[in-house]
Amino acid sequence: MAKDLIEEIPPMARWRFAARAAALIPALYSCALRGEGTGAVEEREQMIWYAIGREVKEIVDTFGISTDNAEEIAGALRVGAVVLFGPAFRITVLPASGEAATVVMKGCPFTGTLREAGCDLFAGASWCMPFAISAVEHLNGAFTLRFVRARCMGDAQCEMVIRKREEGE
């Protein structure tokens, strides 16, 4: 079995990236809540998480993780999510071809936190979807991500497909 990419990132580096994300999130929310963003509250919240998704690119670039095909992008998304938000993410990558891969997530720290806080799980869609889409688009602009199933929408697991963009997309 191939070595897990997360093991390629030293624990102290993981800690620094996670701490940066922890500090960045309230700063971005502060800007959005004080009207520095435009659009409805939901749109501003999505832009916050789109910005957090860019952080995955920083992690991948720092450690030279390849993102040339869908499987590599999916692996990099998994690494970025685990580094930024912890090991409660249980993510499996199912390669289909160089142009497509499926990401299956059976464990998610966001849904657990929402439950603990007594919030509607649907709120997670405003975080996760823009985060994941942004991460994929920043990792390799020739690819895109589509959600097939989502835990925060009531499905048993999340399922996302990373695929090569078609012309005009």
| pTM confidence score | 0.89
- Give the per-residue pLDDT at 37: 56
Q: What angle do CA 95, 98, 103 make, to 5 degrees?
A: 35
DSSP state letters, 96-136: EETTEEEEEEEE-HHHHHHHHHT--GGGGHHHHHHHHHHHH
- Give the per-residue pLDDT at 1: 36
Average pLDDT over residues 8-13: 90
99: amino acid identity, one letter: E
3-state secondary structure of 10: coil
Domain ranges of the chain: 5-164
State in Å, rounded, how far the first CA of the chain is from the last one.
36
What CATH architecture does domain 5-164 belong to? Answer: 2-Layer Sandwich (3.30)
Average pLDDT over residues 57-72: 95
Average pLDDT over residues 73-81: 95
Bridging pattern class, strands 143-149 and 100-107: unpaired
Please name the residue that has the structure tokens 């979807």. 129
Compute CA distances 168 → 73, 136, 142, 164, whole Å: 21, 18, 12, 12
3-state secondary structure of 30: helix
Average pLDDT over residues 10-30: 91
Rounded to whole angstroms, the Cα distance separating 82 from 90 reads 9
Please give the residue that has the higher pLDDT: either 34 or 66: 66
* Least confident segment among 19-23, 44-48, 49-53, 101-105: 44-48
Q: Contact, 163 vs 100, CB < 8 A? A: yes
- Give the per-residue pLDDT at 2: 47
